[in-house]
Amino acid sequence: MNLQPSKLERVGVGCYPTPFEAMTRLESKMNGPKLFVKRDDLTGVALGGNKIRQLDYILVEAKKRRCDFVITTCGIQSNWSRQTVAFASKMGIKALLVLRTAQFKHRPSVFDGNLLLDHIMGAEIKIIKMKINEDPAAILESEAKRLRRKGHNPIVLGLADGVSPLATAAYVDATIELVKQTNAINVNLDAIVLATSAGATQAGLALGTKMLGLKTKVVGVNVGAFSKEIVANNILASANEAVKLLSSNVRLTRDDIIITDKYAGKDYGFPTKESLAAIRIAAESEALILDPVYTSKAMAGLIDMIKTRKFERDEKVCFLHTGGIPALFAYKQYFQPNSRLKEADYFAIRRFQK
C-alpha cells in the first residue's frame, strides 16, 4: 500500500492533517457501530471546510498566471465561495463573487453567515436571482471581460472547477492522510459517510480507497443540489481524469459509487426535521457543530442507517465533516427558544434515541 501523497503542485494553504476523532458519546447513544469523525471543518482558513484542500491544487494556476482577481460563483451561503475568497486573501489577490439566490426567495437585506464573511474578507459581491443548478457562465465571463478592460488579470472558476480532476486528486491525498491516521490506532474503516453535492469530494475518497486496495465503502448522502445520476456522472468523469494526473491505472466504475437520495428533503438548502435533529444530536453529544445544508443531512443519514441496521455493531464508520458551519447562522430561526419547529425537532431526536 503506497501511502505517499501525490507530487501535484499546491499553493500551500491549509492546516493538515485535520483531526481524526472517536465519537464515543454519539456511539453510546446510537448503540451501533464504532463511530469516528474526520474533521475537515478544521482545514484552518476562514473557518475551514473541504474546499480548502481542493482550492490548494486548483489555484496553482492563478499563481502561475500571476492573476490579480479570482471570479467564482455559487449560492448566497456558499462554502465554496467563502473558501475561495479566503484563498484569494491569503494569496494577496482580489475576489469577485457572482452569488445565486439559490434556495432563498429574495436577495438578503442583511449579510449573515458565509455572506458576511465574504464581505469582511473584502470580496466584491454581485447577487443574482438564479437557482443553484443553473449556470451563470456568461455572467462570469462578462465580469472577466470588464476586469480585463480595466487592466486586471482575472481567473474564472466556474461550476466545472468544483468537480475538476484536481479537486478529486485533493481528496485522494486526503484519503491517504486518513488511512495513516487509522493505521496509527489499528482501525480499519468499513465505511466513510459524507454529504455529497457536485461529487468531487466523494470521487476522491472513492478513488483513493480503490487505489489503496481498501474495502472501505464510501457512502454519499445527496443533499439535493443535483440528481443522483448527475452526481454519479460527475464522480466518474472527474475520478477517471484524476487518475491521469496521479499516474494510476485504477479506474472507478458505477459499482464503486454509492449515493443515497433518501435524506435530501424537498430541495437543496431546505432542512428536514431529521437534519435539524441531527444538528442538535451532534452538538449535544459531541460538541460537533454541523451546518443546515450539507453535513446535517449526512449525519441524519448516518443516524438512520445505524437505526435501520445498514451498519452492524462490529463495524467502524467514519463521518467526514466537510465544514459549512457559517451557514448555520443564516438559519438561526430554526434554533430559537421560541421556534415553532423546536417541538418537532426534539420529537425527531427522541425517535432517533429510542
pLDDT for position 349: 43
pLDDT for position 346: 42
CA distances 335 to 50, 117, 295, 299, 346, Å, are 25, 21, 16, 17, 11
pLDDT for position 1: 76
Domain boundaries 20-49+163-353, CATH class: alpha beta
Per-residue pLDDT tens digits for 287-312:
999 999 999 999 999 999 999 999 99
Beta-ladder partners of 127: 99
Q: pTM (2 decimals)?
A: 0.94
Query: How far, in Å, CA of 350 to CA of 354, rounded?
Result: 6
Query: How far, in Å, CA of 97 to CA of 272, rounded?
Result: 28
Location of each CATH 3.40.50.1100 domain in the chain: 20-49+163-353, 50-162
Cis peptide before 17 (omega within 30 of 0): yes
Query: How far, in Å, CA of 118 to CA of 95, rounded?
Result: 9
Query: Is residue 351 predicted with pLDDT exceeding 70?
Result: no
Sheet of 34-39, strands arranged across: 20-22, 34-39, 316-321, 191-196, 217-222, 258-260
C-alpha cell at 92: 494577496
Query: Is residue 352 predicted with pLDDT exceeding 50?
Result: no
Beta strands in the chain (DSSP E): 20-22, 34-39, 69-75, 94-100, 124-128, 154-157, 191-196, 217-222, 258-260, 316-321
Provide, rounded to the nearest whole percent, the portion of the chain with pLDDT above 90. Answer: 88
pLDDT band at residue 159 under the 50/70/90 scheme:
confident
pLDDT band at residue 354 under the 50/70/90 scheme:
very low
pLDDT band at residue 149 under the 50/70/90 scheme:
very high
Greater confidence (68 vs 102) lies with 68
Where helices occur in 185-335 by DSSP H, the ranges are: 200-211, 228-245, 273-286, 295-307
Query: Other CB atoms closer than 10 Å to residue 316's CB: what's the count?
Result: 17
Query: Other CB atoms closer than 10 Å to residue 10's CB: what's the count?
Result: 20
pLDDT for position 353: 44
The β-bridge relationship of strands 258-260 and 154-157 is unpaired
Query: How far, in Å, CA of 182 to CA of 298, rounded?
Result: 21
pLDDT for position 344: 45
- Residues 130, 98 contacting (CB under 8 angstroms): no
pLDDT for position 340: 55
The CATH architecture that domain 50-162 belongs to is 3-Layer(aba) Sandwich (3.40)
Query: How far, in Å, CA of 303 to CA of 33, rounded?
Result: 11
pLDDT for position 347: 40
pLDDT for position 105: 83
pLDDT band at residue 256 under the 50/70/90 scheme:
very high
Give the mean pLDDT of 82-97: 97
Q: What is the mean pLDDT of the chain?
A: 93
Give the mean pLDDT of 215-242: 96
pLDDT for position 342: 47
What are the phi and psi torsion angles at 33 (to 5°)?
Answer: -75, 170
